[in-house]
Amino acid sequence: MSDSLRELLRDSGVLTAEWEKPFEAAPRRLFLPEVMWPSVEGENIVVSKADDPEEWRRWADTDVPIVTQWDDGDHTGPERGTLATSSSSMPSLVFDMFADLSVEDGMRVLEVGTGTGWCAALLSARLGEENVVSVEVDAAVAEAARKALAIAGWHPEVVTGDGLLGHPGRAPYDRMLVTAGVRKVPRAWIEQTRPGGVIVLPWETPYSRHNAVVRLVVGDDGTASGRFRNRTQFMMLRSQRGEWIRYGDYIPGDSWPDDTRRSTTGLPAGEVLGEEYTVFAFVAGLLVPECVHTHGRSPQGTPTLWLYGLGDRSWAAVFFDEDAQVFQGGPRDLWGEVEAAHRWWTERGRPGHTEFGLTVTADGHQKAWLGDPSEPVPRAASAVR
């Protein structure tokens, strides 16, 4: 089965010649736990090595993400937990990110998010373990990774600590690989990467869980800038997860508040929830800051979109039925902002993830742009007034 995975990765173009030997020297299965939860069509199934070693091996050598921890380690037993909190990433995505990392012999790499230790092993096989440092916030996950790495014959430095701080003791780094979702790029990462160095990370906004890998190049002036690459979905850095939105905090009681604003929309559900949903959700997150969305269906089966403002109690509920009703409350016109974001996106030909980029300034501000850093993405609110 590992041969099949190698052929799949090779045929797709992500397993290049420089990564062939590391792939053979650090098999993924050596870094997976006895009980694991592969992702199958968006759902996680349970696979036990003790119960079915052949099935376990088959999934270990399949190009799917595999959950290895639930609920920050508080979960026990074979059933799925509530929140997936550590995993082994999809192999094709791993090697795709390695391509963006574009390492060269002798380079020093910092990995943020050790997880199972597989990426640290691959980097060690490619660059030499003395050039690899990996930081993991969860002590149990870090210790399991150290043991797996040692059994596999690799001994890179694995640090238990807050990845947001990087690891200044071995800086500067030529490359930095982040394997957890990020909403705010910390200054420490840029400061610990040499000018001309590269940081590869999955970045997202609060609007949705759909993030995109961005390749940032560090400048001489303390900035970092680059284009987004593939869209993906990573578990968030623990300190940047944000809080769960509670409906009752925004709309207390069983009926609309007295000050609810009512309107209608001409924007069909397919435009914001259809085939291009992941692209528009990413774009909406760039233009509509400090906003979380969720979607589903009403008890009557009507497609429904909910918006919640962060930092205030603005909210919106859009029911895509025949009347296309919109209900809103709070100081922001959240649905108006989303409509404005959709107009902006449509007027520019509906650009995808790779046409956007991100710049982190020397003072820590993040600025998204379209096409070129000189074309910053505006706040949608400016088009609502």
Write down the catalytic residue from 87, 89, 92, 124: 89
Tell which residue, 197, 191, 200, 189, has the closest CA to residue 164.
189
How far is residue 36 from each of residues 21, 60, 210, 289, measured CA to CA in Å?
A: 26, 9, 23, 36
Question: What does the longest C-alpha to C-alpha distance in the chain come to?
Answer: 66
Tell which residue, 284, 269, 384, 271, has the closest CA to residue 324.
269
Q: To 5 degrees, how large is the angle CA 152–CA 233–CA 229?
A: 95
**Count of CB atoms situated within 10 Å of the CB of 345:** 23
**Count of CB atoms situated within 10 Å of the CB of 321:** 14
| 3-state per-residue secondary structure call for 22-85 | HHHHCCHHHHCCCEEEEEECCEECCEECCCCHHHHHHHHCCCCCEEEEEHHHCCCCCCCCCCEE
**Based on the number of CB atoms within 10 Å of its own CB, is 142 exposed (0-12), middle (13-18) or buried (19 or more)?**
buried
89 part of the active site? yes
Q: What is the DSSP string of 138-202?
A: -HHHHHHHHHHHHHHT---EEEES-GGG--GGG--EEEEEE-SBBSS--HHHHHTEEEEEEEEEE
Cα distance between residue 213 and residue 157, in whole Å: 25
Please list the active-site residues: 89
